[in-house]
Amino acid sequence: MAHPVRKAVVPAAGLGTRFLPVTKAQPKEMMPLVDKPAIQYVVEEAVAVGITDILVITGRGKRSLEDHFDRSFELEYYLREAGRLDELEEMKRIADMADIHYVRQGEPKGLGHAVSVAAEHVGDQPFAVLLGDDIMHQDAGVLAGMLDAFGRLGHSVVALKEVPATEISAYGCAAVRPLEGHLVEIEDLVEKPAAQEAPSNLAVMGRYVFGPQIFEVLSETKPGRGGEIQLTDAIKALAEREPVYGWTFRDGRYDVGNKLDYLRATVELALERDDIGPPFRQFLLGRLAKDLGLPPRG
Ligand code: G1P
């Protein structure tokens, strides 16, 4: 890989209150998209761009994340005895694909605080941050494009996507100066502005590539919106000291913390599968035909 980033940080300490009651007794990161938990897509996205040292920032009630990426000897024994060797290999692959480390956030003091907890593990190196609510389709190439930009420019890069004005208040929002292609330079950032106060409709999506300078800025960042230490505020402060770039993209991102987007992601991913895709497509077409009052499909 042509980029210098070897480590990724995955904040996963949130309570998942947008998806209650399913997240009452299980972490939102374990919500399945077809048959894979959301966090596995995120880890695979990092591995696909050559990042295999991953620090997950966890909190209370997140033990199943660690179990998911650990070996399960009883299960492996059972699958071997049953001759289910493909599944056995897949279970081992999940446990072996990355060096995953865990640290607890302690207090839920915001995304900026969660990232600052990674300082010791990351050290004096660049790193990526991947938020587990944002699932990127493998064809979107967002992280690869951001890492390439970081490798060329040597400054932090944030993923940005246009959203309708009615949705901007759910995101960090960037005022930018266009450069070439996907690249823009960030001039200002506001965390979750009201629609009428938003400087643009470019929203921060949950992928970031930072130099280690962000830790110093985070240590000086005061609580912002919601009384939390906001990563967005730290990036704004960083952009006042040195260039910070945005990498804009359009397609291939799902917010799986949002029920409708979660369903969209599930349907898209199911349709792409070789095994269940064709019968699922038939089911959907039949269902639509019924809604449209068309005769049943033969
Ligand atoms: C967080 C960030 C926000 C960003 C969003 C992307 O918000 O604070 O700036 O736009 O992730 O998903 P959250 O979704 O955790 O409220």
pLDDT tens, position by position, 102-155: 999 988 899 999 999 999 999 999 999 999 889 999 888 999 999 999 999 999
Residue nearest to atom 13 of ligand 1 (CA): 171
Average pLDDT over residues 171-200: 96
Share of the chain above pLDDT 90, in %: 88
Which residue, among 251, 250, 246, 241, has the nearest Cα to 175 in the 3D structure?
246
* Residue pLDDT, tens place only, 19-42: 999 999 999 999 999 999 999 999
Of 9-13, 239-243, 257-261, minimum mean pLDDT range: 257-261
Rg of the chain over Cα atoms, rounded to whole angstroms, equals 20
For the Cβ of 205 lying below 6 angstroms from any atom of ligand 1, the answer is yes
How far apart are the CA of 150 and the centre of ligand 1, in A? Answer: 21
Whether 14 shows a pLDDT value over 90: the answer reads no
Distance CA 143, CA 159 (A): 8
Mutation probe of ligand 1 site: the residue of 131, 191, 231 with most atoms within 8 A of C-beta: 131
| 58 Cα–ligand 1 center, Å | 17
Supply the mean pLDDT for the chain: 94
Give the tokens for residue 250: 């359009």
CA of 134 to the centre of ligand 1 (A): 9
pLDDT at 61: 87
**Alpha-carbon torsion, ordered 132, 137, 141, 143, to 10 deg:** 0
Domain positions in the chain are: 7-257
Protein residue with its CA nearest to atom 10 in ligand 1: 171
| Region for residue 226 given its phi and psi (left: phi exceeds 0; alpha: psi -120 to 50; beta: otherwise) | left
Topology annotation, domain 7-257: Spore Coat Polysaccharide Biosynthesis Protein SpsA; Chain A (3.90.550)
- State whether the beta carbon of 45 lies less than 6 angstroms from ligand 1: no
Closest ligand 1 atom to residue 204 Cα is: 10
DSSP string for 69-138: TS--HHHHHHHHHTT-HHHHHHHHHHHHSSEEEEEE--S---HHHHHHTTHHHH-SS-EEEE-TTEEE-T
Residue 214 has pLDDT above 70, yes or no: yes
**1 pLDDT more than 70:** no
Establish whether residue 132 lines the binding site of ligand 1, counting it when its CB lies within 6 angstroms of any ligand atom: no
Claim: this prediction has a pTM higher than 0.75: yes
Are 44 and 69 in contact, with CB atoms under 8 Å apart?
Answer: no
Q: For residue 181, what pLDDT is reported?
A: 93
Closest CA to 230 of 191, 262, 266, 200: 191
Sign, Cα dihedral of 123, 156, 114, 95: negative
Res 185 pLDDT > 80? yes
